[in-house]
Structure 1
Amino acid sequence: MEAPSNVPVPPNPPMEEEEPEVQPKEPEIYTASISAVGDVLLHKPVYDDAYIGNNRYDFSKMFQQVKPYLESTDLTIANSESIIGGKEIGLSTYPTFNSPFELGDALKDAGVDVVNMANNHVLDRGERAILNATNHWNELGITYVGCAATKEEAAQIKTITKNNIVFSFLGYTYGTNGIPVPKGKEYYVNYIDLDKMKSDIEKAKEMSDVVVVNIHMGNEYQRQFNQYQDQIAQHLADFGADIVFAHHPHVLQPAKWYTGEKGNQTFVIHSLGNFLSGQDLPFTRIGGIIQLDVKKTVLYDEEGNEKTLVEILNPQFLPTYVTFQNWRNYEIVPLYRLTNEELPNAYGIYEEIKSHMSQYVPEMTFIEWEPVN
């Protein structure tokens, strides 16, 4: 039976509009690379070799073969083992070093962006050398860490931004060869102190993505790191450091990953050896360039909140060797290029260094590319 025509038909209920689904913002990914070298320690034969007359020095030729590798990363760090106090206060060699300003000029030209000054020779020539050195680094635009010219500067965390990744840099030494810091100027040098390092790293993490620590410790001429080095490295990982570049033994010591108490992974190379020096003891002419990639991923949830993930990736190493003849013609060269005529058993030494450095980091690769002219 049909419904009567005079019965009203109820209207259709209004359609409810569906709220659009919120799509999380796409992740943002940034990458940068960082490299580091060990001790730059000028004994008298080295600065004598750099003398070009008229009270001037030129070290640039010593870095020419490794300059392309230093320049290939976004950031490069060196350990300024002998302070560049300048020739005006008198150059000096072991046991109390002082180097000419021109060494800093050569490091700048070779691509160095950051130098660590916290080492056992930083007080060798006293307050004047520290102030001369920090002034010259500032003139060059090179960031220095582990040492400060003023109390106010010592309280700062120094940072550099590359490709939207903020790097912070810290430096500490085990001691200064028994030379005391001038009274009231303890800020000149950072010593290894767990409470201070923890506080500094926490402060650095608040203002940067990657915390890079330079640390000066270990037994000289020992090719394996000791228990104390291992413990300090673990503390630095627990405090949240991302990368640790270590030096002082004057020979290469292996790299190792450490897991911090929050599950973070910290890359540590226990000694980068001598990059440039006048030492001629076994293995003291062998150093290297460590290169690391940094990946920063910014993740967003549905509410737009962001979370940053930082990864240290792709450890690569270039072993280097300091060549010279009769204490002249100093030059840093990639070890893989040397022939048996230039270095007896060059190939065997190179293979042993590769095994030595990667024993705890089997994924480490070794750089053998040739610069393009």
Structure 2
Amino acid sequence: MGLSNQSRSFRTALKAMALLSLVSCTPTGPSGNSCARPDLAFGGDVLLHSLIQRDAATRPEGFAPAFAPIAAALARAEVAVVNLEGPAARNISLANRQIADPGTIYDGRAYTGYPRFNYHPLIARALRNASVDVVQTANNHALDRGALGVDLTLQALAEAGLPATGTIARGTDPIWHVTRQISGRNVAFVACTFSTNNLTNGRSQVLDCYGNRPSIPNLIQTLTNTPTIDAVILLPHWGTEYAARPNARQRRLAQAAAEAGATAIVGAHPHVLQPIETLTTRDGRQVPVAYSLGNLISSQWSLPRRTGAILYLDLARDEAGRTIATNTRYLPTRVERFAGHGVAVSPAALLPDGGASVAHARGVLGPRAVGPDGCLTD
């Protein structure tokens, strides 16, 4: 594809999503499937490699164009959640020390890509402006700028109006969940990670998916038994990078979390899509599990790594009066680099080469894909 065609594709995606955001859809049938506004949206990994940061540093809009084509897709939900894979700590070097402001979004010292990430804190406002409401900060790169980096990341997110789950600042109470009101229900989000890449979690700032201080099942059970909380969503950072299927450890934690009371489980880390399944608990609840939504944005260019999904869920009550997650569906996404706009993520169906990503997503996630208008296409 030529650069001029890429630029036109970017503008086309923006215009189409802006138009679709104004369209009011109606239910499609008695099964409850609809293209009405979902309660929840989940994006995958926000993984800002050096290329993406360099792109942002060249334009006054910073990171905003990277997310502009999917902003309407996230705004469709009452609450949207993404995984911010890496710190957003202002002016912190690889030695975990504060340095002079480099005066740019990317300099290779304070702000770096792989293998130890750190993003300019402007990413927080870009995510908020793209209609993100909650950020997962527990992941294997959470300590890439040490304890200070965790503190400053949470500060940057808070200043942008974004609550975070999965990490805590030094000297604060160990409250691992955040809550949001969704369709009149109080929903708790809990994030955890399987690893911090061998960086020491000496201040216990990052919640361990497989640890016991607290254990994830016990934490979920405590929240489930809290009268003021109606639902618990687990956001685990787990699994094997680039693996197309969940491993046994993921499956065990998913079942344990479901038995403890989790309403839904939405995973991250593999950087490729993994299947969506429904677990049945001993008490008869149906709990959807999305093992991995892949990359929301990165500069990894193979088809499985540039293809992601935005997961949509609704909340309802079952016959026993318990809050459950229903109407699982997803929007396939694709990452491209556009002339004059840099790397951006778009609904795959709006891109000239997006058919390959739509087909890949359907092959992994199965039916119940939605189009850019939010309506089921299957």
TM-score for both structures, normalised by structure 2: 0.79
Task: Pick the structure with more strand per residue.
Answer: 1
Judge conservation of contact 2:186–2:230 (CA < 8 Å) in 1: yes
1:270-289 alignment runs, 5 A limit: 270-289=291-310
Q: Which runs of 5+ in 1 are unaligned?
A: 1-30, 300-306
User: 1:166 Cα shift?
Assistant: 0.5
Aligned partner (choices 107, 116, 125) of residue 96 of structure 1: 116
Q: Specify the SS of the correspondent of 2:305.
A: coil
Aligned partner (choices 22, 42, 46) of residue 40 of structure 1: 46
Whichever residue aligns with residue 42 of structure 1, its letter is L
1:59 and 2:63 equivalent?
yes
Judge conservation of contact 2:331–2:374 (CA < 8 Å) in 1: no
Whichever residue aligns with residue 158 of structure 1, its letter is V
Label 1:211 to 1:370 Cα distance change in 2 as closer, same or farther (>3 A): closer
Q: Measure, in 2, the Cα distance between the counterparts of 1:254 and 1:100.
A: 33
State the match for 2:90 in structure 1: 86
Q: Which runs of 5+ in 2 are unaligned?
A: 1-36, 94-109
State the match for 2:358 in structure 1: 350
State the match for 1:139 in structure 2: 159
State the match for 2:127 in structure 1: 107
1:198 and 2:217 equivalent?
yes
| Residues 59-100 of structure 1: CA deviation (Å, up to 9, x unaligned) | 111111110010011000000102111245400111100001
State the match for 1:260 in structure 2: 281
State the match for 1:119 in structure 2: 139
Q: CA RMSD in A?
A: 2.3
| Residues 219-243 of structure 1: CA deviation (Å, up to 9, x unaligned) | 1111111222122111111111011
Judge conservation of contact 1:239–1:260 (CA < 8 Å) in 2: no
Judge conservation of contact 2:274–2:292 (CA < 8 Å) in 1: yes
Q: Measure, in 2, the Cα distance between the counterparts of 1:227 and 1:93.
A: 31
Judge conservation of contact 2:217–2:257 (CA < 8 Å) in 1: yes
1:247 and 2:268 equivalent?
yes
Label 1:324 to 1:32 Cα distance change in 2 as closer, same or farther (>3 A): closer
- Structure 1, 155-164 or 330-339: larger mean CA deviation: 155-164
Label 1:318 to 1:32 Cα distance change in 2 as closer, same or farther (>3 A): closer
Label 1:45 to 1:326 Cα distance change in 2 as closer, same or farther (>3 A): farther
1:214-233 alignment runs, 5 A limit: 214-233=235-254
Q: Specify the SS of the correspondent of 2:115.
A: coil
Judge conservation of contact 2:39–2:78 (CA < 8 Å) in 1: yes
Whichever residue aligns with residue 198 of structure 2, its letter is G
1:180 and 2:184 equivalent?
no
Q: Measure, in 2, the Cα distance between the counterparts of 1:249 and 1:198.
A: 22
Judge conservation of contact 1:45–1:328 (CA < 8 Å) in 2: no
Judge conservation of contact 2:147–2:170 (CA < 8 Å) in 1: no
Aligned partner (choices 75, 79, 102) of residue 75 of structure 1: 79
User: 1:155 Cα shift?
Assistant: 3.1
| Residues 290-318 of structure 1: CA deviation (Å, up to 9, x unaligned) | 01111247x9xxxxxxx733231111211
Judge conservation of contact 1:101–1:136 (CA < 8 Å) in 2: yes
Q: Specify the SS of the correspondent of 2:200.
A: coil
Q: Specify the SS of the correspondent of 1:73.
A: coil
Q: Specify the SS of the correspondent of 1:284.
A: helix
Judge conservation of contact 2:334–2:348 (CA < 8 Å) in 1: yes
Label 1:189 to 1:198 Cα distance change in 2 as closer, same or farther (>3 A): same
TM-score for both structures, normalised by structure 1: 0.80
